[in-house]
Chains A and B, each alone.
Chain A
């Protein structure tokens, strides 16, 4: 961990100004990812602006019928909030599928969006990584890439975004309200995270110094037909190999609206609107779901040790859509051992 100074911001304006006044500074919310990266010397901020205690922790209804998730509300408080549970159960599911109860208590919503990849090489200073050190090369390409991406990758980076919460958010399509030296603005969630291209060091489209204030969910919560399906290397407390957020509006057995987003497969939470369009107006059948899965995975490409993700994602999409259509997902992501 490097040497840094620390300031606890008293207000948003104070935070933005303090950050602007310090080169090489970073915002810290819960710290669950940043301190991890600082101990690995992957992140080396020289000044921390603590924003965790800013009055941005409220979860409140918006005039347009949506819900505002404060940036500094904890992931746990968000997941268990009554409005979230009843109106956006997909988000509840996704948050609870991620990390551990301890981490969800400390991690903030803003910080969740800012999580960096779990690619092995990104974390290991002994190996080249374009995301950590632009131009040094990608060790995951041709290396061990079980956790890496199959969609939207580039020749310089095949890393994935590790969040579960963001996969549900991608499906729910909120806007991200931010404040920075240039004032306040809103970013559509789909535009918030970016693909690596030839600038894999950039995870998102925030301008320098911008601070997340809230995530504003639209009214539509898909609270009847939804599913968050996460596949990983152990039953809990592991990052997704593949995850799927699926949400449907049904009229009888006909799909009238659909949302479909994947985690663990790309540099950003991967929402596929073409696949969603393909679902609309169709009967909610396995055949329809398979066509949507094929659409999502057009052009998907494995890199060796993650080749299996293409087929796993295909099956996971079908299963998640099936669960969503059946409306069978229960309130928590727990393996239910039914007796024979």
Chain B
């Protein structure tokens, strides 16, 4: 049998030139950066490849794992499924903005204490997601935290530690009585 299957997205009209670049102003961890990039640069690639903020991870590039989670105006999103150019004028917080090895954020400390990771690759996304969860203030019980942390896949299977670490900080920071 012969047929012509193809993966190519090329159309008969030939190849279009790459898009032009332009300045994109991003506020990341309180610092303003101006990048000369094309609209096709995702927020994730802008962070990793243009700003060398590699704490934000690429695990699937399709919103299917949560490793690229960052906070935009305090809300957690997948940075792989959004364009950098869509976030001018917003406050972007990455793992680098939460704490440093010498001065860990309470969530980072709780993750170390509860051994809530192994390989560490999903961890920055888990922690940013947990901060988003705390900001949302919707999850209190263990079952709720499990559900609300389910947008972050951990292939090492550190979910028990992740639950305990997040719960510890939720309990500490939660002023409202537990449901």
Contacts and interface: CB of A to CB of B under 8 A. Distances in A.
A39 interface: yes
Nearest to A126: B7
B134 to A, nearest CB: 12
Contact of A125 (B7, B66, B132, B151): B7
Contact of B86 (A2, A52, A335): A52
B75 to A, nearest CB: 5
Contacts of A36: 62-63, 81
Contacts of B5: 126-127
Nearest to B138: A80
Given A32-B78, A46-B16, A335 B143 contact: yes
Interface string B128-151: 010011001010010110111011
Interface of A: 1-6, 8, 28, 30-32, 35-36, 39-41, 44, 46, 48, 50, 52, 76, 80, 99-103, 105-106, 125-127, 235-237, 332-337
A337 B147 CA distance: 13
Contact of A48 (B20, B39, B143): B39
29 contacts: A3-B17, A3-B19, A4-B19, A4-B40, A5-B19, A6-B19, A28-B83, A30-B82, A36-B62, A50-B86, A99-B63, A99-B151, A100-B78, A101-B136, A101-B148, A101-B151, A102-B63, A102-B69, A102-B151, A103-B77, A103-B81, A105-B132, A106-B82, A125-B9, A127-B5, A332-B147, A333-B147, A334-B147, A336-B143
Interface of B: 5-9, 16-20, 39-40, 42, 61-63, 66, 69, 75-78, 80-83, 85-86, 129, 132-133, 136, 138, 141, 143-144, 146-148, 150-153
A31 B61 contact: no
Contact of B39 (A4, A76, A333): A4
